[in-house]
A = this chain, B = another copy of it.
């Protein structure tokens, strides 16, 4: 979990608590105190104290008394999550446009907001009857192998991209994932020229994705949108067509955000 934030001014207990939340998020069936202590590191007793503290604030909840008590993410997080998402203005503006885009393309669409270099999903429209791609609210898209990620990353200059890739790495998600920084930089130059980014089975096998950025009144990147579908459904000539559709949709969103 290394990102651009200075390590000097971290408060350890809080960082540990955040890690515990992250592990609880990964565990669908909850965790016991001992499991949390083992997975997140730290002693049983301090883990216990941290969990108690988090629970008293509703950030975690527990079920079962006595032995075998299991901890889960608490429902206060639902409230915070709603508030966090509702604050993102691009979401409300993008969703109607995305519904139209999904109607036209029959592909699932997403809107993301840049946060610390990553694209974080803040809204989605699923194509009816389509395969469910596991793209969830709040999910962080990788900068080097997703339509949303590439679109956002293309906003940075080459040096900033190199630094970003350095800190987050370029894990190979499929055989087609670009793992060479220089080759990705060349792709990003294309993205800037064309106005849209392509993920051709680079994040998941058989999945195709096109993304483009939307801009606010100051011309800054306010977020990105994308459509995702099966590679099977995307013919050769459809690729360019899709790119144009997504770019134009992003343009409409930009216009509504005050960009000319």
Q: Would you give the shortest CB distance from A257 to chain B, in whole angstroms?
A: 15
Identity of the chain B residue whose Cβ is nearest the Cβ of A10 in the assembled complex = B53
For residue A58, CB closer than 8 A to chain B, the reply is yes
Q: Would you give the shortest CB distance from A28 to chain B, in whole angstroms?
A: 7
B138 touches A52 (CB 8 A): no
Q: Would you give the shortest CB distance from A42 to chain B, in whole angstroms?
A: 11
Q: Which of B22, B72, B77, B138 sits near A138, CB closer than 8 Å? A: B77
Identity of the chain B residue whose Cβ is nearest the Cβ of A72 in the assembled complex = B87
Within 8 A of B (CB), among A16-62: 17-19, 21-22, 25, 28, 46, 48-50, 52-59, 61
B82 touches A9 (CB 8 A): no
Q: Which of B17, B79, B136 sits near A17, CB closer than 8 Å? A: B17
Q: Which of B19, B25, B28 sits near A79, CB closer than 8 Å? A: B25
Given the complex, which residues of B lie within 8 Å of A140, measured CB to CB?
Answer: 58
Q: Which chain A residues have a beta carbon within 8 Å of chain B's beta carbons?
A: 1, 3, 5-6, 9-15, 17-19, 21-22, 25, 28, 46, 48-50, 52-59, 61, 72-85, 87-88, 113, 115-116, 120, 122, 136-140
